[in-house]
Structure 1
Amino acid sequence: MTFKEIALPDWPVGGVDAARMRDAVDQWVRSEAVAELVRAFHGTPPHGTPEEALAQLVAFCDVWDYRRGGLERSEVVAVDYPDHIDDLVHDAARALGLAGRGQPSADRYDHVLVLGGGPRTARARSEFAASLLRGGVEGGAVAGLSSLRPMGPGELEFAAAEGMADARVEADVMAAALVRAFGVDAPARQRSGVTPAGEPWRVEAYGPLTVLAAAGNTPGKRANTQDGFVGWAAMVGGPAPSDRILVVTTDLYVPFQHAAAVLLLGMRYRCGVETVGLDVLEYGQWLKPSTQTAILQELRAAILGLASLVAVP
């Protein structure tokens, strides 16, 4: 089934008013792709007022919460759904922005934020970001947003095989991957500290590149996407209202992470925000194809993220 592609909420320089944001979210919520997914999982498509439809979808999307109990994405056990569900999920993903949103709309941005993760993710996203800038997009300042999460044995093995044997935490591989992808030959300048809550952070600069190991907002928990945006604005970026930010991630995370960037950067600083994601199939040497379970999990994250945008007074 081919669905009409639905635009994610736009956030140009200066932002948009609440009515325009509500309408954009409502079009996504009431789309044919969402309706067919909900029906396939034995639900009733969202209906009523925009507020009612969104509330219904937020309540329903718990059916796609495969991380119950706070599991990491890598710990989720994939569900083997039948072929017709697989086809539906992949078609809907493209329509809803979880695939096929890899090309920026403009040719110049003031900041490019490459979102981090494990070593495979860092390698792929760094190469993707570099390819965009080599392909005609002017990027201004480039920053990798990562964390101080210690890597596991498998990740350490992969990092070593990729020539990053000294890497121990996520930010180490983010730095090594960015430096390699952009061909930068500059010594690292580092500063670090702890938050008032005692959570550590670190900023490293490699010539034109910056890598932030953000502090987690929850004691004992690694920094997440939201922590990265907040930490970057406070310790690295400080975006001006006239700035345009390009967020670079992986395809299926685009809607959720776009919503987070709009909420935490666009709405706070009135800067422009756009988000693009690499196609995992084009980076198969590092990344595996997205499972139905992973797509549905990130669909839930997208729903909750978009809901947060219309909850702002």
Structure 2
Amino acid sequence: MVALPRAVRTADAGTTVAGIGDWVDSAPLRDLVACFGGRWPTGDLGAVLAGLDEFSARHWDFRAGRERPDAREPDLDPVTAGRARAAAIALGMVRPLPPARPRYAHLVVLGGLAHACLRRVAYAADLLRRGLRVTGELAVLGSYRPLSDVERRTLAEAGVTGCDTEVDALDAAVRWTFDVAGPDAEDGLDAGHPHHSWSSRTYRISGRPPVRVLAAPSSEPERRRAHTADTQRFWAGHVDLAGGDQVLLVTAPIYVPFQHCDALRTLAVPHGCGVDTVGVDPTRPDVARLPEPTLTPGRYLQETRSAIRSMRTLHTALA
């Protein structure tokens, strides 16, 4: 499996840049570009990343600005589909890895589609039950993105009702997973528009770190909803994130490369903290009983593009 870039202090950013280069220049990604008839970009790392961004926009962008569930599925022949999955495995987007450390300052669950909200919170709870030590808080990060009808049905089938937004689903997942009735503290701002509004709900659970469910505003509210980097940056403003702190992020395996690099840019670079990112292990009992959509070759190609773009943005920030 190709290693992801490591978080290091900004003064030694060359190590992170080298990690970006190793991932981007890996044989699986080169093979994937060749599979779609592409020529490998020339020049320095910035030029290669720009070339791969442009290439992936032409060949692997099936969203075209839409939300992930609305992306079209490409019609790939069996050989190309197999190579797309093989590349995804090698690039760390399929098989989950356990946390690298037994102890972290903070455990952060990233939001997503409704089924992902349930699965990721359940996996975070599973990690805590199995002895992962967290000295700070369990943070569950999302936004006021409206849920689709399909997402509401998914939640209802799992026994979760009354959710209209992503942060509603995350909050319900916390109450459902940890068997708590309501938050012990609440804060927020209702700005009259979901792109400007934010909220924070904190749960105090015996024997567990404090659990904070946070909905972030968008950093570009006139253009879009809050995305992953917005939620990470907003959370960092709500905790005493110190240099040397180790943060563990939980997401789905397919999103590990791109969300890890987002976290390096939004957390590690400005705050000097360490970041590890893990995908949910679907074999864990509390996770296996929750719904999960089938991942397709098109989805893997789309998120390979997301990883390239995230690494390009990280490289720019470091340079």
Are positions 1:230 and 2:227 aligned together?
Answer: no
* Correspondence for 1:96 among 91, 95, 105: 91
Q: CA deviation at 1:229?
A: 0.7
For residues 45 and 202 of structure 2, what CA distance do their matches in structure 1 show?
A: 45
Runs of 5+ consecutive residues of structure 1 not aligned to the other structure: none
The share of aligned pairs that are identical, in percent, is: 33
Are positions 1:9 and 2:5 aligned together?
Answer: yes
Q: Please tell me whether the aligned partners of residues 154 and 291 of structure 2 are also in contact (alpha carbons under 8 angstroms).
A: no
Alignment-derived partner of residue 265 in structure 1: 267
Are positions 1:288 and 2:293 aligned together?
Answer: yes
Alignment-derived partner of residue 302 in structure 2: 297
For residues 180 and 297 of structure 2, what CA distance do their matches in structure 1 show?
A: 38
What are the within-5 Å matches in structure 2 for residues 13-162 of structure 1? 14=9, 17-62=12-57, 63-68=59-64, 70-140=65-135, 141-162=137-158
Q: CA deviation at 1:244?
A: 0.8
- The change in CA–CA distance for 1:228 and 1:105 in structure 2 (over 3 A counts) is same
Q: Please tell me whether the aligned partners of residues 171 and 211 of structure 1 are also in contact (alpha carbons under 8 angstroms).
A: yes
Alignment-derived partner of residue 251 in structure 1: 253
- The change in CA–CA distance for 1:136 and 1:52 in structure 2 (over 3 A counts) is same
- The change in CA–CA distance for 1:148 and 1:276 in structure 2 (over 3 A counts) is same
Mean alpha-carbon deviation: is it higher for 94-103 or for 139-148? 94-103
Mean alpha-carbon deviation: is it higher for 45-54 or for 75-84? 45-54
After TM superposition, the score normalised by the length of structure 1 is 0.90
Partner-residue secondary structure (3-state), 1:22: helix
- The change in CA–CA distance for 1:138 and 1:182 in structure 2 (over 3 A counts) is farther
For residues 36 and 281 of structure 1, what CA distance do their matches in structure 2 show?
A: 30
**What amino acid sits opposite 1:93 in the alignment?**
A
Partner-residue secondary structure (3-state), 2:109: strand
Mean alpha-carbon deviation: is it higher for 155-164 or for 114-123? 155-164
Q: CA deviation at 1:53?
A: 3.0
Alignment-derived partner of residue 203 in structure 2: 206
For residues 294 and 90 of structure 2, what CA distance do their matches in structure 1 show?
A: 18
- The change in CA–CA distance for 1:166 and 1:55 in structure 2 (over 3 A counts) is closer
For residues 230 and 15 of structure 2, what CA distance do their matches in structure 1 show?
A: 27
Mean alpha-carbon deviation: is it higher for 265-274 or for 149-158? 149-158
Cα distance per residue 1:177-225 (max 9 Å; x no partner) = 1233234465442111157x98110001111211001112222532110
Provide the aligned length of Structure 1 versus Structure 2: 306
For residues 81 and 188 of structure 1, what CA distance do their matches in structure 2 show?
A: 51
* Correspondence for 1:174 among 170, 173, 176: 170
Cα distance per residue 1:255-313 (max 9 Å; x no partner) = 11001100011000001111111255875641112111111111001001111222123
Q: Please tell me whether the aligned partners of residues 18 and 310 of structure 1 are also in contact (alpha carbons under 8 angstroms).
A: no
After TM superposition, the score normalised by the length of structure 2 is 0.88
- The change in CA–CA distance for 1:167 and 1:54 in structure 2 (over 3 A counts) is closer
Alignment-derived partner of residue 278 in structure 1: 280
* Correspondence for 2:159 among 141, 160, 163: 163
* Correspondence for 1:193 among 186, 189, 199: 189
Q: Please tell me whether the aligned partners of residues 107 and 137 of structure 1 are also in contact (alpha carbons under 8 angstroms).
A: yes
**What amino acid sits opposite 2:91 in the alignment?**
L
Runs of 5+ consecutive residues of structure 2 not aligned to the other structure: 205-209
Q: CA deviation at 1:226?
A: 1.0
Alignment-derived partner of residue 241 in structure 2: 239
Q: Please tell me whether the aligned partners of residues 281 and 289 of structure 1 are also in contact (alpha carbons under 8 angstroms).
A: no
**What amino acid sits opposite 1:287 in the alignment?**
E
Alignment-derived partner of residue 306 in structure 1: 311
